[in-house]
């Protein structure tokens, strides 16, 4: 029988790095191909939501600081 080898899940740092590059809209094809095999959908969604929340909080903090 043929064994299916699973690639290990990506580390949190690797997922954060991939999501950050996705926010900017730039990514090398080779790195994208490597990431797509190791990053799971729940990992990408959770890190993406956390990153978006962090971005919004930073923007709100800057606006509050500037308007005071």
* Full DSSP string of 32-46: HHHHHHH--HHHHHH
**How many angstroms separate the CA atoms of 32 and 18, rounded?**
8
In order along its 68 residues, the chain shows pLDDT tens digits of: 566 666 778 888 999 998 888 888 887 888 888 888 889 999 999 999 999 999 999 999 999 999 98
The 8 Å CB, 24+ separation contacts for 47-51 are 47/12, 47/15, 47/16, 47/19, 48/19, 48/22, 51/16, 51/19, 51/20, 51/23
Angle CA 29–42–33, to nearest 5: 15
pLDDT number for residue 34: 85
């Amino acid at each position: 029988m043929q064994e299916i080898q699973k690639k290990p899940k990506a580390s949190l740092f690797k997922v954060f790095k991939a999501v950050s590059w996705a926010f900017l809209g730039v990514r090398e094809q080779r790195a994208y191909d490597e990431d797509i095999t190791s990053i799971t959908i729940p990992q990408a969604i959770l890190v993406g939501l956390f990153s978006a929340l962090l971005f919004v909080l930073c923007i709100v903090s800057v606006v509050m600081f500037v308007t005071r």
